[in-house]
Amino acid sequence: MSLLSVRDLTVKFAMRSQTVTALHQISFDLARGERLGIVGESGAGKSITGFALMKLLSAPGYIDSGTIQFDGTDITQAPEAQMRQIRGNRIAMVFQDPMVTLNPVLTIGQQMVETLRAHRKLSRRDAQEIALTKLREVQIAAPELRLKQYPHELSGGMRQRIIIAMALLLDPDLIIADEPTTALDVTIQADIMELLLKLCQANKVGLILITHDLGVVSQLTERTLVMYAGRIVEAGKTREIINDPQHPYTQGLINALPQQTLPGQMLKQIPGAMPVLTDIPPGCPFSPRCAFALAECRRLLPQIMQQGSSEVACHEVNRLHSDLLLEEGR
C-alpha cells in the first residue's frame, strides 16, 4: 500500500464575492521512500498542495472535497489534535526561505529540543544529543557550536541545513520541501539538494519536492507531477517527462530552461502568463498560451489520460496518439 494516496483533492478559497477553486481534483500516490516532484509556474497550486497535505490551509482556503490517505488515516477527516501528532512527527516540511523560517529569538538548540520534546518524552539532555546527531547528519561544521547560536549568526546555507536537520529530527515518513533552494546561492543549491537526496535515501524518507526548477526535479525525483492553474496536466516517471514531455506546457517549461538556449539568443519563454484563479478560460486552461491549441481546446476541458508511459491532459496529445494507433492498426 502506498504511504500517501490523494484522491480528487479540491481546494477552494472563499473570497468575499466569489469562491475560487485553487486545486481541481488532484489525485496522486506516493510509495514509502519514493521521491515525487511537483513542478509548475508560480500560482499553479504547488504550495497549496503542500499545505493541504498538512491540513494547514489558512483561511479563506479550505479543502472542499477529496481524500488524503496518509498511512491509513484520512487527513481531511482527522481532528486537529491528531494532525498535531502527524505534523512534524510523521510529515515534516522544509520551506523556501531559510532566513525567515527559524524563530529569530530562540537558539538553534532551543528550537530543536523544543520540537523533540513536543512530540516525545525525552529529557533535555537526550533531546540535545539527538539534535546533535541530526546536525552531524546534515554535515554542518562545528555542530556543538550551532546549538548555542541564534539564526542570525548563521549563513543561508547553514540555516537550510539546520532546517533539514529539524525536519529529520523525529524521523518522519515524508518530507514536503517547498522550493527548498530558491533563496540560496547556486553553488549551495547543489550541495543542499545532494544532501536532501542522500538523507532521504539513507533514512527511507519519502520526499515531495515542490519547485519550478525542472533541473532539480530531474536530479532528485523518481516521479513528477506538472501542474497548471490548479490541475495536474502531466504525471509520470521523471525521466520520461524530462526526455519526452507530452503536454505542450511541459515542453514549454523544458524549452524555457536556459540550457536549451545558445549564448546570445533570447530565452524561449512560454508566451503569456498563468491565468488568475478568478478568470480561468473555458476549455483547457493552457489553450490561450498553447501553440497547438485546437478549436475543441477552447471549449472542452481535457481529461487526464494514460498516454504511453505518462498521464497527460491534452486534446492534441490524445489526437496524436489515436492517429498513431490507427496507423499501427492499419
Partner 1 sequence: MSNLLITPPPSRWARFWASPLGDSLRGNPVALVALLVFSVIVVLALLAPVIAPFDPYDPTQIDIMNSDLPPFWIPGAEPQFVLGSDDQGRDMWSAILYGTRLSLMIGLAAVALQATLGIAIGLAAGYLGGRVDSLLMRLADIQLSFSTLMLAIVVLAVTHAMWGAAVFDRYAVVAVIAVIGLAEWPQYARTLRATVLAERQKEYVDSARVLGFGPLRIMLRHILPNAMSPIFVISTVQVGNAIIAEASLSFLGLGLPASQPSLGALIASGFDYIFAGSWWITALPGGVLVVLVLVINLLGDWLRDALNPRLYKV
Question: Contact 71/90 with Cβ under 8 angstroms?
Answer: yes
Regarding 180 and contact with partner 1 (CB under 8 A), the answer is no
Q: Which residues contact 38 (CB under 8 A, 6 or more apart)?
A: 46, 49, 50, 208, 209, 210, 211, 224, 225, 227
Binding span for partner 1 by CB under 8 A among 10-18, 80-88, 126-134, 208-216: 80-88
Regarding 226 and contact with partner 1 (CB under 8 A), the answer is no
Nearer to partner 1, 105 or 266 (CB): 105
Directed axis angle between helix 156-168 and helix 186-203, to 10°?
10
Regarding 95 and contact with partner 1 (CB under 8 A), the answer is yes
Regarding 104 and contact with partner 1 (CB under 8 A), the answer is yes
Which 3-state string (H, E, C) describes 5-22? Answer: EEEEEEEEEECCCCEEEE
Regarding 273 and contact with partner 1 (CB under 8 A), the answer is no
DSSP 267: P
Regarding 86 and contact with partner 1 (CB under 8 A), the answer is yes
**Closest separation in Å from C-beta 55 to partner 1:** 10
DSSP-derived 3-state class of residue 326:
helix
Beta strands 73-74 and 91-94: pairing type?
Answer: unpaired
Question: Contact 160/102 with Cβ under 8 angstroms?
Answer: no
Count of residues that bind partner 1 according to CB under 8 A? 30
Regarding 103 and contact with partner 1 (CB under 8 A), the answer is yes
Regarding 114 and contact with partner 1 (CB under 8 A), the answer is yes
Regarding 267 and contact with partner 1 (CB under 8 A), the answer is no
Interface pattern 132-171 for partner 1 (x via CB under 8 A): ----------x-x------------------x--x-----
**Closest separation in Å from C-beta 182 to partner 1:** 13
Q: Judged by CB under 8 A, which of 3, 22, 30, 54 binds partner 1? A: 54
Regarding 59 and contact with partner 1 (CB under 8 A), the answer is yes
Which grid cell is 172? 518522519
Binding span for partner 1 by CB under 8 A among 33-41, 100-108, 216-224, 265-273: 100-108
DSSP 151: G
Regarding 276 and contact with partner 1 (CB under 8 A), the answer is no
Question: Contact 201/73 with Cβ under 8 angstroms?
Answer: no
Q: Judged by CB under 8 A, which of 21, 27, 101, 107 binds partner 1? A: 101
What are residue 9's phi and psi, to 5 degrees? -70, 120
Regarding 42 and contact with partner 1 (CB under 8 A), the answer is no
Nearer to partner 1, 69 or 101 (CB): 101
Question: Contact 147/108 with Cβ under 8 angstroms?
Answer: yes
Regarding 119 and contact with partner 1 (CB under 8 A), the answer is yes
Type of residue at 257: L
d(CA 318, CA 23): 23
Regarding 212 and contact with partner 1 (CB under 8 A), the answer is no
Regarding 79 and contact with partner 1 (CB under 8 A), the answer is no
Regarding 74 and contact with partner 1 (CB under 8 A), the answer is no
In this structure, how many other beta carbons lie within 10 angstroms of the beta carbon of residue 313?
Answer: 25
Question: Contact 81/311 with Cβ under 8 angstroms?
Answer: no
Cα 59–Cα 84–Cα 86 angle in degrees, nearest 5: 110
Q: Judged by CB under 8 A, which of 97, 240, 244, 296 binds partner 1? A: 97
Residues near partner 1, by CB under 8 A:
54, 56, 59, 83-89, 92-93, 95-97, 100-106, 114-115, 118-119, 142, 144, 163, 166
